[in-house]
Amino acid sequence: MSAATRINDFVIKIATVNGTGSASANTLLMKSIFRSGIPVMGKNYFPSNIQGLPTWYEIRVSKDGYVARSGKVDIMVCMNAETYARDVREVAAGGYLIYDSTWPRPALLKRDDVTVIGVPLARLCNENFKGVRTRILMKNICYAGVLAALLDLDVERIRELLAETYAKKPALIDSNMQAIQLGYDYAKANYTCPLPLRVEKMNSTAGHVMIDGNTAAGLGAVYAGATVAGWYPITPSTSLMDAFKSFADKLRIDPETKRANFAFIQAEDELAAIGMVLGASWNGARSFTATSGPGISLMNEFLGLGYYAEIPAVVFDVQRVGPSTGMPTRTQQCDLLAAAYASHGDTKHVCLYPANPEECFYMAVQAFDLAERLQTPVLVLLDLDIGMNDWMCRDLKWDDSYVPDRGKVLDREALEKIDKFYRYLDKDEDGIPYRTFPGVHPKGAYFTRGSGHTQLGTYTEDAVEYQRVLDRLLRKFATAKRLVPKPVIERDTRNDAAIVSIGSCDGAVREALDMLAARGVRLDYLRVRGFPFGEEVEKFLEEHAVVYVVEQNRDAQLRSLLTLETRVEKSKLRSLLHYSGLPVSSAFIVDGVLADRAEGRRAVAGEAS
């Protein structure tokens, strides 16, 4: 069977075993496509394991720049016998199946509607390489060579990438290229190359990078001027801290003194990590941590202290599948409520919701500004998909005129001038008091506590005094509404239905909107980027009769937040919930919206008859 020609518009999925070097092969493939100027997405579905379990990598090539999952697989590379059966089932009709033909393929998994391409990868590598480990690694590089031939990929791009990767180990460049060539030549000799599905050079990736959100956020923390990082390892947030450390090791070592202009502290647990962040921020250093859901659970107590004692802190929550330990290497947006209301008592937190690595970089900086301006913890909610997958984004830019917003801090001069300093007075009527740092001036001393306190900063159990502070915190939260990033809105005044979504759903929603429009269903779109929700969100919700809320969790957490924190009428919010642990696809959203509308029509028809 063969399909119609499709240039730069298909999905490859590669099934391998983790710990066999397949990640290098997959990155190589994806990056060589990116360097050919073609928009591409790469997503890694990996196990919580070091070696031996099934792992998949999905590459989507999209001339139109759609970089979310489409929900369809056109070419499946089956390198894992264990998952062979389900992998074969997943290929779309008219698609291709590439497998290692060294050993016979189980006949029961035969499909007539896909083209099967067998390549004796193991045999080729066994004949040409020595050593068990090398043979396994090269087998994976070899399928990249097969794909290069089938898809008409420029082998020069691959050679160039290998040369950069192994600049310090030239022998590896040759052996990897040999493996590429083996696969490439075999495919050329035995199959009609290229396939109808193939790539063709474009010029759509200039001014773009392929970067993951954790790296971008770590880099953002460096540019924001963060100096104290307290953290505890947890998937999928660890690489954010690794990125910060590795950038800081390069960019933050004083050229003259060789001293490190940052402190990087691996804590004993998440409780200590957030404690360190609060201690450092209280003392005037920009400080942050990164964690995931289980860490947020542990940090609750201190987040409440940060809220009530009004201490800045930046927490990156790279969300993973819950509840409990859940699936640590799979993605979800399941901490929306836990983050917004972390800790006992009346607490609410400022949250930012980046949709991609580019926003991770800028929002990291914004988070520090907001935390210090508002004197409160700010949680930046990434998810595993954003944090650990490479996304194609516009080049990150930095404006050297940036000045950190340190908020209302009284320095030595300011303290010298005033008569007396009171920590929690609302002098400017925006709910935000002034703060001081230890050691600056005798007049700056005050007492920080999580117990009841007056606006003067003294201990209290007095009803009126206690309430005065608690009410001011609400005023501060109202101020936060104006300061958090505005939602992104795509609005056409003729539409009365819309999609509201958050974070990493963005790519899939945007593609779904186009697909729906092509079918005559036109929807507006709002993506929330900050909590508390501002007036723009209120207005948008008011202006639409039906709002599809697209999010990646079971319990409609975004919908709950919207109903709790805006005036929206609950019944007009309709949930499209994706919570399998895989990133949401555009097809899922299209199907959901169409199904709802069909039901709506049936209901209307029912009424009429």
Partner 1 sequence: MTFIPKPKVTHPNLPRNELGLTRRDYEGALSTLCAGCGHDSITAAIVEACWGISAKPENVVKLSGIGCSSKTTAYFVSGGHGFNSVHGRMPSIAMGANAANHRLHYIGISGDGDSLSIGLGQFCHAIRRNLDMLYIIENNGVYGLTKGQFSASADVGTKAKKGEVNHQPPIDPVLLALNLGAGFVARSFSGDKRQLVPLIQAGLSYKGFAFIDVMSPCVTFNDHEGSTKSYAYTREHMEPVVEADYVPFAREIVADYSPGEALPVMMHDGSRVVLRKLATDYDPTDAHKAHAYVQEHLARGEHLTGLLHCRPTEDTEFHGLNRTPDVPLNELPYAKLNPGAATLGKLLARYR
| Subset of residues 245 to 274 that bind partner 1, contact rule: CB under 8 A | 247, 251-252, 254, 257-265, 267-269, 271-274
Q: Could you say which residues in the range 483-542 bind partner 1, by CB under 8 A?
A: none
29 binds partner 1 (CB under 8 A): no
Go through 191-208 and write b for each residue having 16 or more CB atoms within 10 A of its CB, e for each that does not: bebbbebbbeebebbeeb
* Number of residues this chain uses to bind partner 1 (CB under 8 A): 78
445 binds partner 1 (CB under 8 A): yes
Cβ atoms of 360 and 216 closer than 8 Å: yes
Task: Give the closest residue to 80 by CA, choosing from 121, 127, 124, 28.
Answer: 121
Q: Could you say which residues in the range 381-410 bind partner 1, by CB under 8 A?
A: 395-400, 402-404
**Which DSSP state fits 102?**
T
The interface region with partner 1, picked from 13-21, 55-63, 432-440, 537-545 by CB under 8 A, is 432-440
Among 200, 439, 492, 545, binds partner 1 (CB under 8 A): 439
Look-up of token digits 């040369």 = 163
222 binds partner 1 (CB under 8 A): yes
| H runs (alpha helix) in 506-548 | 506-518, 535-542
419 binds partner 1 (CB under 8 A): no
345 binds partner 1 (CB under 8 A): no
364 binds partner 1 (CB under 8 A): no
Q: How many CA atoms lie within 13 A of 256 on its CB side?
A: 0
Paired strand residues for 77: 14, 98
Paired strand residues for 321: 327
CA–CA distance, 440 with 438 (Å, rounded to integer): 6
Cβ-count burial of 440 within 10 angstroms (0-12 exposed, 13-18 middle, 19+ buried)? middle
Q: Which is nearer to partner 1, 399 or 429 (CB)?
A: 399
Among 166, 341, 422, 446, binds partner 1 (CB under 8 A): 446
**Which DSSP state fits 3?**
P
103 binds partner 1 (CB under 8 A): no
3 state SS for 364-395: HHHHHHHHHHHCCEEEEEEEHHHHHCEEEEEC
2 binds partner 1 (CB under 8 A): no
Q: Could you say which residues in the range 291-330 bind partner 1, by CB under 8 A?
A: 301-302, 305
277 binds partner 1 (CB under 8 A): yes
Q: Which is nearer to partner 1, 71 or 357 (CB)?
A: 357
The interface region with partner 1, picked from 112-120, 282-290, 489-497, 594-602 by CB under 8 A, is 282-290
Q: Which is nearer to partner 1, 52 or 439 (CB)?
A: 439
287 binds partner 1 (CB under 8 A): yes
The least CB distance from residue 425 to partner 1, in Å, is 16
425 binds partner 1 (CB under 8 A): no
225 binds partner 1 (CB under 8 A): yes
363 binds partner 1 (CB under 8 A): no
DSSP β-ladder status, 197-198 and 208-212: unpaired
Q: Which is nearer to partner 1, 15 or 415 (CB)?
A: 415
End-to-end CA distance of the chain: 47
* Amino acid of residue 511: E
The interface region with partner 1, picked from 67-75, 145-153, 207-215, 582-590 by CB under 8 A, is 207-215
